[in-house]
């Protein structure tokens, strides 16, 4: 199918779903061994294997394939974000239903092809009113060495569309299904009707679909799918930060699906990905769906906001810009302040200086949000080898940094991050920033070397910023900081630097040390918050934020 004929068939496929959509005409797939068709939601492009369809003897049914692909674009799943959400949910359920050993959790992504089958089921059933005969011809042309999963999937269409037994299923496939589950037809009919009857809750439909497929997936072992689309839906399109955050958010329809699964699978653990820290759980949920850095960024944001802080915005004093009442002007006063229009109006003609001349007073405008009264936060984060890499292992230290960065931003302040390790290994933000995102991404950097606190950077920062803003400096470290303070690199005078920092806005250490170990740095003017272990770091940061940004 080429040229005008293809364009007309494509237009008809679009019109079946909606007359208000426009998508590019499909691109041919040249590989005779490739899939029948697939889409890329990132580019909104459809690819169809016209040659393969012709060799299968179903070229006249291309309009049905086109209508099927349009269904992916505008409804199932419609967007990359929805495709990734359902893929994440499927992987979570796959870990409960198909993976026997928790050690195999990394293999959950091998069941992604089931999502293609699920969306195909929804589309084909919706199209069946006009395209049932074409689907029958296409499925019959696809007959071969089917996996048990795909054979059961085809049996669902026979039951949903009330076709005669083995209209679509080859006899050998029906025998294989009977050996696995003698009542497979009842199972297929019940699952199909359930999915058809719950269009308002996509995760619930998917959960029921997977439960029905479970014995056949387990019987298949490593075998994959013969679905129309062999590629994961959505292509390689990137998700923005909000979409990634949405993937991590538990939604009501998913919770309803889990509740249903708990009731029907009482012997299964269905509380999602169990155990582990928040970053581990998030990485398991979104394995391969988004870059690890984006998973980490949104995980720390979510954890930082788990205990919300009431942070008031900073207020700038109002500027004297509003007109006030007239005041007398006397000879000898500055002529620039004379309100000549008011003076002429008062005189009724030419004003007489010192008699008719007046000046306009100015009133302060309403206070405006700003950062003049809000301390800026400068974070010195220990990024040595004794600290975890925050993108691969959950770091309570970095979570504490997120809490302070987000609090400062909400209060109208600014943030600067300095990650330090050895003297030659430092990651330094050039300036303070209002937006928390740059600071948060800087917090996710990691060095992993030795530990030498950057006293020279602290001294330089005090000299540069003390006349510009009130900067509260916060050090997040362990006993290495105390050791660095006790034996600094000459000729630096640590007590003097700490004293200057205290006078320039204050310096606080959130240190995982014994209280006695931090006495010397406390004597030098540093406020020290000692914590028993790093799990208390975020709470210490929240307490500090409340003290710094109270109204």
Looking at the predicted structure, is the pLDDT value of residue 67 above 50?
Answer: yes
Mean pLDDT of 499-503: 92
User: Exposure string (b/e) for 216-248, b if CB count within 10 Å is 16 or more?
Assistant: bbebbeeeebbbbbebbbbbeeebeeebbbbbb
Whose CA is closest to 87, among 69, 106, 114?
114
Measured CA to CA, the distance from residue 267 to residue 211 in angstroms comes to: 13
Measured CA to CA, the distance from residue 21 to residue 74 in angstroms comes to: 8
Angle between helix axes 202-220 and 171-180 (nearest 10 degrees) is 100
- For 130-182, how does the pLDDT look when each residue is reduced to its tens digit (9 = 90+)? 999 999 999 999 988 899 999 999 999 999 999 999 999 999 999 999 999 99
Looking at the predicted structure, is the pLDDT value of residue 551 above 70?
Answer: no
Residue 22 pLDDT: 85
Q: In this structure, what are the phi and psi dihedrals at residue 349, rounded to the nearest 5 degrees?
A: 175, -135
Residue 92 pLDDT: 85
Looking at the predicted structure, is the pLDDT value of residue 271 above 60?
Answer: no
- For 395-419, how does the pLDDT look when each residue is reduced to its tens digit (9 = 90+)? 999 999 999 999 998 888 899 999 9
Mean pLDDT of 420-446: 93
Residue 406 pLDDT: 92
What percentage of residues in the chain have a pLDDT greater than 70?
Answer: 85
Lowest pLDDT segment from 14-23, 267-276, 511-520 = 267-276
Domain spans, the chain: 75-220, 315-369, 376-548
Lowest pLDDT segment from 2-11, 152-161, 203-212 = 2-11
- For 288-309, how does the pLDDT look when each residue is reduced to its tens digit (9 = 90+)? 678 889 899 999 999 998 877 7
Looking at the predicted structure, is the pLDDT value of residue 316 above 60?
Answer: no
Which residues, other chains included, contact 516 with Cβ-Cβ below 8 Å and sequence gap of 6+?
A: none
**Which run of H or of E encompasses 3?**
helix 3-17
Residue 518 pLDDT: 84
- Residue listed under structure tokens 């949000």: 369
Residue 354 pLDDT: 66
Decide if domain 376-548 falls under CATH 3.40.50.410.
Answer: yes
Looking at the predicted structure, is the pLDDT value of residue 105 above 70?
Answer: no
Mean pLDDT of 256-283: 70
Q: How many helices (H) and strands (E) does the chain have?
A: 21, 13
Looking at the predicted structure, is the pLDDT value of residue 489 above 70?
Answer: no
**Which run of H or of E encompasses 241?**
helix 241-248
Measured CA to CA, the distance from residue 417 to residue 352 in angstroms comes to: 63
Residue 364 pLDDT: 59
Measured CA to CA, the distance from residue 212 to residue 227 in angstroms comes to: 17
DSSP states along 425-479:
-EEE-SS-BSSHHHHHHHHT----B-----HHHHHHHHHHHTTT--EEEEEEEEH
pTM: 0.67
- For 345-369, how does the pLDDT look when each residue is reduced to its tens digit (9 = 90+)? 776 677 767 667 777 776 655 555 4
Average pLDDT, the chain: 85
């Amino acid at each position: 199918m080429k040229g005008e004929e293809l364009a007309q068939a494509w237009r008809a496929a679009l019109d079946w779903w909606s007359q208000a959509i426009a998508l590019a005409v499909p691109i041919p797939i040249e590989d005779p061994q490739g899939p029948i068709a697939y889409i890329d939601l990132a580019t909104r492009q459809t690819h169809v294997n016209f040659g393969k369809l012709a060799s299968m003897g179903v070229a006249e049914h291309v309009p049905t394939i086109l209508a099927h692909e349009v269904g992916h674009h505008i409804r199932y799943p419609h967007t990359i974000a929805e495709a990734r959400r359902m893929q994440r949910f499927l992987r979570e359920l796959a870990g409960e239903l198909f993976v026997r050993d928790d050690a195999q959790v990394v293999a959950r992504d091998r069941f992604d092809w089931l999502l293609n089958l699920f969306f195909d089921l929804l589309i084909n059933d919706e199209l069946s009113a006009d395209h049932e005969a074409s689907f029958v011809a296409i499925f019959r042309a696809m007959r071969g060495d089917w996996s048990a999963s795909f054979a059961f999937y085809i049996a669902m269409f026979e039951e949903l569309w009330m076709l005669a037994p083995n209209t679509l299923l080859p006899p050998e496939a029906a025998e294989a299904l009977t050996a696995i589950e003698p009542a497979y037809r009842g199972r297929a009919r019940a699952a199909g009707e359930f999915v058809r009857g719950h269009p308002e809750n996509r995760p619930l439909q998917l959960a029921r679909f997977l439960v029905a497929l479970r014995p056949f997936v387990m019987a298949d072992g490593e075998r994959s799918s013969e679905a129309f689309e062999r590629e994961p839906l959505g292509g390689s399109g990137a998700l923005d930060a909000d979409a990634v955050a949405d993937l991590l958010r538990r939604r009501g329809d998913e919770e309803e699906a889990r509740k249903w699964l708990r009731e029907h699978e009482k012997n299964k653990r269905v509380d999602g990905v169990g155990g582990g820290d928040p970053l581990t759980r998030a990485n398991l949920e979104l394995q391969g769906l988004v870059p690890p850095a984006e998973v980490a960024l949104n995980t720390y944001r979510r954890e930082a906001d788990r205990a919300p802080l009431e942070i008031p915005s900073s207020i700038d004093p109002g500027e004297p810009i509003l007109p006030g009442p007239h005041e007398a002007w006397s000879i000898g006063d500055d002529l620039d302040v004379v309100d000549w229009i008011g003076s002429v109006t008062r005189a009724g003609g030419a004003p007489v200086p010192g008699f008719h001349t007046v000046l306009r007073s100015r009133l302060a405008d309403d206070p405006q949000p700003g950062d003049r009264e809000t301390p800026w936060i400068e974070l010195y984060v220990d990024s040595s080898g004794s600290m975890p890499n925050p993108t691969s292992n959950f770091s309570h230290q970095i979570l504490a940094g997120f809490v302070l960065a987000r609090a400062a931003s909400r209060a109208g302040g600014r943030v600067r991050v300095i990650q330090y390790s050895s003297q030659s290994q430092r990651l330094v933000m050039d300036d303070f920033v209002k937006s928390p995102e740059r600071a948060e991404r800087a917090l996710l950097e990691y060095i992993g070397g030795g530990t030498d606190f950057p006293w020279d950077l602290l001294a330089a920062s005090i000299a540069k910023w003390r006349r510009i803003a009130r900067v509260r400096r916060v050090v997040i470290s362990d006993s290495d900081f105390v050791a660095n303070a006790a034996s600094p690199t000459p000729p630096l005078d640590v007590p003097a630097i700490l004293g200057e920092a205290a006078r320039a806005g204050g310096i606080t250490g959130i240190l995982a040390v014994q209280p006695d170990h931090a006495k010397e740095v406390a004597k030098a003017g540093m406020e020290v918050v000692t914590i028993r272990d790093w799990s208390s770091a975020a709470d210490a940061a929240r307490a500090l934020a409340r003290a710094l940004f109270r109204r």
